[in-house]
Structure 1
Amino acid sequence: MASIRAIAKAAGVSPGTVSRVLNEDPTLSVSDTTRARILKTAEEMSYQKTARLNRQVQIITYASRRREMADPFHRELRLAIETEINRLNLTLKKTIRVEPGMKKQEWSEVKKAGALLVIGHFSQAALKEIYQYNPNIVVINNPETPDYMDAVYSDLQKTTLQLLDRIRQTHPKAHIAYLGGMREETSLTGETSYESDARYQAYMQWCEDHNETPDSHLIGWTREDGEQEIESITQLPDIVLAGNDMVAIGVIQGLQKLGKQVPDEVSVIGFNDLEVNQYVTPSLTSVQIDIEQFGKSAVAMAEDRIKKARANALHTLVQTRLIVRQSYSEKE
């Protein structure tokens, strides 16, 4: 393909003039004869104008600001994504928070983005509708994402099963309880439906496979939920597996109110490994879900979509690992 400089040389004008003519600069003062000569020369030399990349990235999340305050996982994930967007010199559009009462016409803005980053458990119907607005979509933290969309997530069901096996190896007689909430699915109008969470499903499956009586407590996902529930349990377990860190922190605080020692009398394990965990007393053992890697992988996929670097969708599975701190001992 001919360059601007080559066209300028053939047409007998400056490269700047060629560039402004080809980009239809309305402020350029040039004769019609010169303009026609430049355009004809460009056509004869098979010049093709390079399309400008749309580097705008739109975040769509089901987490309200209030929810981000109640559970820092959502805030830390969004900030990790924003950091990576800035590092790659992409442009961040205003975040869309899906809340009750949203109207479909509000979704017209997502068509203008170069790529979309969709955070959270949106329904299949919602994801498919977003895809119709803009197919350059990357879904984060939702393993139910259709295979033709890019996605980044961790396998929490497999992680939970492996964690329970690990606990049983070092604590063969321990009574293990599960405390956590339901999985929320959000529509594009902000309406929420509920189904069992992957961690709860894995716990129930594990108990069945090992002929153990389950001790599951379906509550919410907040610190207050964990604290109130553990205070209401008559027969305390030896180990509490909490569905997220905020529930786990609430459990620790509730146990302390009851005068119980953690981990000597009751051990506690959470999920997500938030920054606050190391400052809780005792510090919280937690399954690390690599939020930073979520951000890096998702934004890299979005950049691929912007640059049209690939046609096939990718599903990236981010490994989890247990970060052992003071709230749980792996010794019997």
Structure 2
Amino acid sequence: MPTIKEVAQRAGVSTCTVSNVLNNKRPVKPETKARVESAAAELRYKPSGVARSLKASRTLTLGMVVTTSTNPFYAEVLQAVEQRCYELGYSLIIANTRGNSERLKEALEVLRERQVDGTILMCTQVNPALHLSKDDLVMPVVVADWGITNLNVDLIQEEGRRGGYLAARHLLDLGHQAIGVLRGPSGKRTADERYSGFCDALQEAGVELRKDWVAEGDFELAGGYRGAQTILKAKQRPTAIIAGNDMMAAGALKALQEAGLRVPDDMSLIGYDNIELSSYLVPSLSTIEQPKERLGANAVDLLLDRIKNPDSPLRTITLEPHLIARQSTLPLNQR
């Protein structure tokens, strides 16, 4: 592998001049710059990323702690994080908590040993505010996809209550008043906020939410399937169902089809997240979009800003949801 000294010898300049040219440190005469660039190209020389990062006291590596889930939402956010890291010349190390608080602490310890420059926490099933102390967060950290936390970190959060409201409002605008809800697990901020938004819209419209039209799921396919079966046991069935996320909506779609119900002719259905799968379901799923690409990119940008400006005020970025209307919802008078 060629060295910077060999490039300097071929170009007839000092190693300092080569460094200035390749790293854009100081202005160099055009003819000298051309000789250096030509010599580097001929020798196929590439500056050492490790050496540059050591001089800057950084490794150009970020960490990300996530929770295992069959929900593609997390994979899509992770893809956005990886893409942003690639664009900015950073590597990414991923650690998985598997929903376990001890593994959360172990993951942070491993990332600290690997000397990552900072870490993104996105593990909804393990609330870091309940399990971490300041001693666990000795590196720059950005928390994504949680609500208000008492941790002294930057935060990216969704407007879940607003999204839940938009989902219910969509069905109300289509003329539905008998509306069932497949909510996420009680006690989880994401689930509670979305459910509160559903209830806000129904209450505003003066529409009753019957207890036998509410089922609790786990944000997974099976939870949506079982929850829809529970709602269908009610003496009077609703004309539409709101699911707390797209995965539960997909599970509900299977239960409805098995019960001989056509979506949306017999039952309208709306999900939440707008995962890629939602547009490929039959019928395609109306849903609430969470801007996953923006979530991932913002998490990286916010973390890098914290790394560069460690003493700047803490920031919270709130991502606004919006409605994606597709084939699974239909006006009541068109059934």
TM range (shorter): 0.7 to 0.9
Offset of residue 331 of structure 1 = 7.0
Q: Where in structure 2 are there 5+ consecutive unaligned residues?
A: 1-13, 20-53
Distance 1:175 1:281, change over 3 A: same
Distance 1:136 1:330, change over 3 A: farther
Distance 1:127 1:322, change over 3 A: farther
Structure 1, residues 125-159: CA drift from partner, whole Å, max 9, x if none?
34752674324111111122348421112101122
Greater mean deviation of Cα atoms: 201-210 or 155-164: 201-210
Distance (Å, rounded) in 2 between the aligned partners of 1:262 and 1:302: 43
Distance (Å, rounded) in 2 between the aligned partners of 1:306 and 1:79: 22
2:147 is the alignment partner of 1:149: no
Offset of residue 110 of structure 1 = 3.3
Distance (Å, rounded) in 2 between the aligned partners of 1:178 and 1:223: 15
Alpha-carbon RMSD across the aligned residues, in angstroms, is 3.0
2:61 is the alignment partner of 1:53: no
In structure 2, the residue corresponding to 1:59 is in which secondary structure? Answer: strand
What is the TM-score when the length of structure 1 is the normalising length? 0.73
**Mapping 1:221-232, distance limit 5 Å:** 221-232=219-230
Match of 1:270 in 2: 271
In structure 1, the residue corresponding to 2:218 is in which secondary structure? Answer: coil
**Mapping 1:108-187, distance limit 5 Å:** 108-111=109-112, 112-121=115-124, 122-123=126-127, 125-126=129-130, 128-129=132-133, 132-146=136-150, 148-171=152-175, 173-182=176-185
Match of 1:298 in 2: 299
Q: Where in structure 1 are there 5+ consecutive unaligned residues?
A: 1-13, 20-48, 186-193
Distance (Å, rounded) in 1 between the aligned partners of 2:85 and 2:332: 43
Distance 1:239 1:307, change over 3 A: same
Distance (Å, rounded) in 2 between the aligned partners of 1:211 and 1:250: 29
Offset of residue 303 of structure 1 = 1.4
Distance (Å, rounded) in 2 between the aligned partners of 1:243 and 1:166: 14
Cα contact 2:166–2:323 (8 A) shared by 1 = no
Distance 1:281 1:98, change over 3 A: closer
Distance (Å, rounded) in 2 between the aligned partners of 1:142 and 1:261: 36
Partner AA of 2:268 in structure 1:
S
**Mapping 1:69-84, distance limit 5 Å:** 70-84=70-84
Distance 1:197 1:300, change over 3 A: same
- How many residues in Structure 1 have an aligned counterpart in Structure 2? 275
In structure 2, the residue corresponding to 1:125 is in which secondary structure? Answer: helix
In structure 2, the residue corresponding to 1:322 is in which secondary structure? Answer: strand
Partner AA of 2:193 in structure 1:
A
Cα contact 1:110–1:134 (8 A) shared by 2 = no
Cα contact 2:244–2:271 (8 A) shared by 1 = yes
Distance (Å, rounded) in 2 between the aligned partners of 1:251 and 1:99: 24
Match of 1:43 in 2: none
Distance (Å, rounded) in 2 between the aligned partners of 1:311 and 1:15: 37
Offset of residue 15 of structure 1 = 6.3
Distance 1:269 1:81, change over 3 A: same
Percent identity over paired residues:
22
In structure 2, the residue corresponding to 1:201 is in which secondary structure? Answer: helix
Match of 2:3 in 1: none
Offset of residue 211 of structure 1 = 4.2
Distance 1:330 1:309, change over 3 A: farther
Q: Which has the larger radius of gyration?
A: 1
Match of 2:330 in 1: 329
Distance (Å, rounded) in 2 between the aligned partners of 1:113 and 1:255: 47
Distance (Å, rounded) in 2 between the aligned partners of 1:104 and 1:147: 14
What is the TM-score when the length of structure 2 is the normalising length? 0.72
Match of 1:28 in 2: none
Structure 1 stretches of 4+ moved >6 Å: none
Match of 2:217 in 1: 219
Match of 1:88 in 2: 88
Partner AA of 1:174 in structure 2:
Q
Cα contact 1:115–1:134 (8 A) shared by 2 = no
Offset of residue 105 of structure 1 = 5.8
Match of 2:193 in 1: 198
Distance (Å, rounded) in 2 between the aligned partners of 1:152 and 1:279: 29
Distance 1:183 1:149, change over 3 A: farther
Distance (Å, rounded) in 2 between the aligned partners of 1:243 and 1:251: 11
Offset of residue 103 of structure 1 = 8.4
Offset of residue 311 of structure 1 = 0.8
Offset of residue 102 of structure 1 = 3.4
Partner AA of 1:221 in structure 2:
F
